[in-house]
Amino acid sequence: MEIAGWAGFALTQIFYAPQIIKIFRNHDVSGLALPSWFILAVALLSSLIYSVSIHNNVFIAGNAAGLTQSLFMISLILKYEKEEVTEAKAG
């Protein structure tokens, strides 16, 4: 059963890749809701804390990686939202 957990972990990490690639290519975050990513990050942090408390390696890895990627997405949204605002004021 642990293989199913690791497979889920891998697929969850792959889930983030298309969105991150699209943002890097287009610098467009207009369709992303920042509050949703904050909620996801808090949820993953909570799950990570619980996973550490029960010593579950699959969930520790999954939640830590998911939290990292969610925080990365938040940083991209903040960066490119700021650029959009700056461009709108200049243009």
Helix (H) or strand (E) holding 19: helix 2-26
Say what the pLDDT of residue 33 is.
95
- CA 82-86-87 angle, to 5 degrees, is 115
Model confidence, pTM: 0.85
What are the tens digits of pLDDT across the range 8-62?
888 988 988 999 999 989 999 999 999 999 999 999 999 999 999 999 999 999 9
Total domains in the chain come to 1
Q: In angstroms, rounded to a whole number, what is the distance separating the alpha carbons of residues 49 and 12?
A: 19
- Residue 55 Rama label (left phi>0; alpha psi -120 to 50; beta): left
Q: In angstroms, rounded to a whole number, what is the distance separating the alpha carbons of residues 30 and 8?
A: 29
Q: In angstroms, rounded to a whole number, what is the distance separating the alpha carbons of residues 35 and 90?
A: 27
Please report, for the domain that includes residue 46, its CATH number. Answer: 1.20.1280.290
Domain that holds residue 71: 2-90
